Amino acid sequence: MRASIGDQLTVHGRIVGTSNRVLEVVEVLGADGTPPYRVRAEDGHESIMMPGPDCVVRPRTEQ
């Protein structure tokens, strides 16, 4: 997985009835766009994330 600053990560809900989370990549901490990423949620909360297989990258050009 590779991402750039400004890309969106969509984390799919793993439990029935759980909605997807959309996070914005604000910093790439790995080499060449690889994880971990510092992400910002819609509510402004920031955290460092290692995306799993339930995560999809949407490049900022698609938005």
Tens digits of residue pLDDT in 22-62: 999 999 999 999 999 999 999 999 999 999 999 999 998 75
Per-residue confidence (pLDDT) for residue 49, from 0 to 100: 95
Q: Is 48 helix (H, G, I), strand (E, B) or coil?
A: strand
- What the block records as the tokens of 54 is 């339930």
Whether residue 13 is predicted with pLDDT greater than 90 in this model: the reply is no
In sequence order, the 6+-apart residues with CB closer than 8 A to the CB of 6 are 24, 25, 60
Per-residue confidence (pLDDT) for residue 50, from 0 to 100: 95
